[in-house]
Amino acid sequence: MTRMPMRFALLLAAGLAAWQPSKAMAADEDVQLWQIVNATGDIADGTRLTVDASQRWREQARGDEQQSIRFTIEQTVAKDVRIGGGAAVFDAGGNTEIRPHQQVIFVAGKFEFRTRLEQRFFDGADRVELRLRQRIQYSQPLGKGWRANVGGEWLGLLQGRNAGQGASTEQWRAQAGIVYQISDKLEVGANYWLLAFPRGDRPGRISHVPQTVLTYRF
């Protein structure tokens, strides 16, 4: 490993962490910054625990700044197949969301496919919101300690939080990123997310999301 790639990764992560967007690019387009910290490792034979926390800087019009903490437990049930579940708490502007989830992950070579079902409980909502998420991700090694990843995800509402709100596509996500493995236990990464929110006959809303990720493996 040369010093230059290491310095580049650290400078990129530090630069994104220091930058906080202040206003939208347009009425239907905004920029956010997400910082995520993960801790993950095996807690039993074939059983993995992951805990993640995030800070998301967003405009007030997009829900205000948001903090979250989540845990997920996964069990390997067959070669390249894991099932699991967990729960999360999201807080933004004094409003709280409780979000249990269940998921299954299938790995095929460098591809990973994830199906996740979420139950979203909001303050003041008429009922629980049900959301289905389908994600695909591809990872490519780039050299010693480096890898790149690209992916996409569809998020669909099976049941909205408000009475009378039925099934619909809530958003689409596209992602590209790079990760550097500092040691056997520590990784740092930087991603770019493009979030697209369909709005029926109106033009869709777009969010640009630079993201930094720190992962610790125990």
The string of pLDDT tens digits covering residues 64-91 is 999 999 999 999 999 999 999 999 999 9
Residue-level pLDDT at 20: 46
* Mean pLDDT lowest among 20-24, 122-126, 136-140, 147-151: 20-24
Report pLDDT digits (tens) over 28-67. Answer: 899 999 999 999 999 999 999 999 999 999 998 888 999 9
Per-residue pLDDT at 25: 46
CA-CA distances (angstroms) from residue 150 to 1, 111, 147, 188, 195?
Answer: 23, 10, 10, 16, 14
Which pLDDT does position 203 carry in this prediction? 87
Tally Cβ neighbours within 10 Å of residue 125.
Answer: 14
* Number of C-beta neighbours around residue 180 at 10 A: 23
CB-CB neighbours of 144 under 10 Å: 10
- Domain limits for position 13: 3-217
Tell me the whole-structure pTM to 2 decimals: 0.85
Looking at the chain, the whole-number percentage of residues with pLDDT higher than 90 is 79
Instruction: Compute the average pLDDT of residues 112-131.
Output: 97
Nearest in space to 94 (alpha carbons), one of 74, 122, 130:
122
Residue 21 pLDDT > 60: no
List, in sequence order, every residue forming a beta bridge with 176; answer none if it has no partner: 150, 192
Split into its structural domains, the chain has a count of: 1
If you average pLDDT over residues 127-134, what whole number do you get?
A: 98
Please compute, for residue 53, the number of CA atoms within 13 A of its CA located in the half-sphere on the CB side.
3
DSSP string, 134-162: EEEEEEEEEETTEEEEEEEEEEEEEE-SS
CATH classification at residue 123: 2.40.160.40
- Reported as a single tens digit per residue, the pLDDT across 186-199 is 999 999 999 999 98
